[in-house]
Amino acid sequence: MARLAFLIWPVITGILAGILIVLLVQGANDSAPSRLGYADAVAKASASVVNIYTTRIVTTTPLAFFCRDPRNRELCEELGAEQRRMQNSLGSGVVVREDGYVLTNAHVIADADEILVALPNGSTTNASIVGTDLETDLALLKINRDALIPIQVADSNAVRVGDPVLAIGNPFGLGQTVSAGIVSAKGREGATVLQQYIQTDAAINPGNSGGALVDLDGQLVGINALIFSQSGDWQGISFAIPSTIAMNVMEDLISEGKVIRGFLGVEFDPEPVRFGRTLTAVLVNTVVPNGPADEAGILPGDIILSINGMEARDRQRATQHITMVAPGSPIAMEVLRGQSVIELTAVAILRPQPGQ
């Protein structure tokens, strides 16, 4: 009897082990994706990506050299030497609200006399400009169409270097096209300190500007904006405006018609000041005369340690802290001057637009 029990237990153990293996394999198959690739993400996001065609009227003077001579001006006016022609350009956009709001790049619709939006279903409609923000190169359009599908928006702050992304747009006017890549870097500074781009190696070509950069869930992480190239062609370095920045700009453009940002009136040094291994702060290079910082007593050479209780670790963060302050509200600063830490408070004003 004892010998029989000795033989039965290994058999039972083997059967149980087999059942367990079958259950584990079945569970793994159930949790695995049904297919590889990006098709599901593309299908989800592409329904919200539109093509944008702009037209502007350009006045040219074929006989400009001849007509610049004052002696010939009267003759040129009689002949009607000036000619008007239509200049067309193209880009992409993203439907961000079901009531017809579309985000794109400001440079896509710059100086346009007419803006035509082509929807994924093949229909077209005219668009009006709600507002533009030159500092981030964003523009918000409005179209009057029903049954629009707004894109789902992800938190671009959560995107990590190495994450796969997809660029969807209208390169060279070919129609909706998808390219794939990864996030190559974050926080790339553009023409202004407020342009903090996501860098990717997903191909972005002329016509892609204003289109969507999405994650593998088909959610928006950026608005495709530009490329870095020494030849004019794509060379593997593309830039997108983070979705978090884009949505903040959109909300201001809808509610105010412009982006409301606080302004202190200082220029920070690009390189942070380091204290030990981890602590950094920003150095004031220039103070705008009669600006808020000047009136508060900020001097060139001051080192700003914090702004409204938040660490001013570098130029990007310090500028962001300032722009978040509503005009008319206080900007409280801890400032290192020489060997002393002092506290100064300025009153923010509206940040001027570039060129003002």
List of domains in the chain: 47-142 (2.40.10.10), 156-256 (2.40.10.10), 262-350 (2.30.42.10)
The whole-angstrom separation of Cα 236 and Cα 255 is 37
93 three-state secondary structure = strand
Instruction: Check if the beta carbon of residue 213 is closer than 8 Å to that of residue 202.
Output: yes
Q: Are strands 279-287 and 273-275 parallel, antiparallel or unpaired?
A: antiparallel
Q: CA of 49: how far to CAs of 67, 174, 183, in Å?
A: 46, 14, 20
Cα dihedral value 326, 136, 190, 198, nearest 10: 100
Positions annotated as catalytic residues are 107, 137, 209
Report pLDDT for 174.
Answer: 86
Report pLDDT for 32.
Answer: 45
The whole-angstrom separation of Cα 120 and Cα 102 is 13
The whole-angstrom separation of Cα 59 and Cα 234 is 31
**Neighbouring C-beta atoms of residue 3, cutoff 10 Å:** 6
Report pLDDT for 340.
Answer: 94
DSSP 237: -
Report pLDDT for 250.
Answer: 97
Report pLDDT for 230.
Answer: 67
98 three-state secondary structure = coil
Nearest to 166, CA basis, from 154, 149, 157: 154
**Beta bridge partner(s), residue 55:** 88, 114
Alpha helices in 32-166 (DSSP H): 39-46, 64-67, 73-79
The whole-angstrom separation of Cα 246 and Cα 258 is 13
DSSP string, 54-76: EEEEEEE-TTHHHHTSGGGHHHH
Nearest to 137, CA basis, from 106, 165, 172: 106
Per-residue pLDDT in tens (0 to 9) along the chain, 356 residues: 445 455 565 555 656 555 665 555 555 455 444 456 899 999 999 999 999 999 987 666 555 556 666 766 666 666 555 556 666 778 999 999 999 999 999 999 998 999 999 999 999 999 999 999 999 999 999 999 988 999 999 999 999 999 999 999 998 888 899 999 999 999 888 777 778 899 999 998 888 999 999 999 999 999 999 888 766 667 788 999 999 999 999 999 999 999 999 999 999 999 999 988 788 999 999 999 999 999 999 999 999 999 999 999 999 889 989 999 999 999 999 999 999 999 999 999 999 877 65
Report pLDDT for 299.
Answer: 97
DSSP 314: S
Report pLDDT for 31.
Answer: 47
Q: CA of 194: how far to CAs of 133, 188, 272, 309, in Å?
A: 11, 10, 17, 21
Instruction: Check if the beta carbon of residue 180 is closer than 8 Å to that of residue 168.
Output: no
Report pLDDT for 10.
Answer: 58
Judged by phi (left if over 0) then psi (alpha if -120 to 50, else beta), residue 87 lies in beta
Task: Report pLDDT digits (tens) over 220-249.
Answer: 999 999 888 766 667 788 999 999 999 999
Report pLDDT for 34.
Answer: 46
Residue 118: both structure tokens together: 């082509």
Instruction: Check if the beta carbon of residue 333 is closer than 8 Å to that of residue 344.
Output: yes
Beta strands in 146-300 (DSSP E): 164-169, 177-189, 196-200, 212-214, 220-227, 238-242, 262-263, 266-268, 273-275, 279-287
What predicted TM-score, i.e. pTM, was given to this entire model? Answer: 0.78
Residues contacting residue 310 through CB under 8 Å, at least 6 positions apart: 317, 321
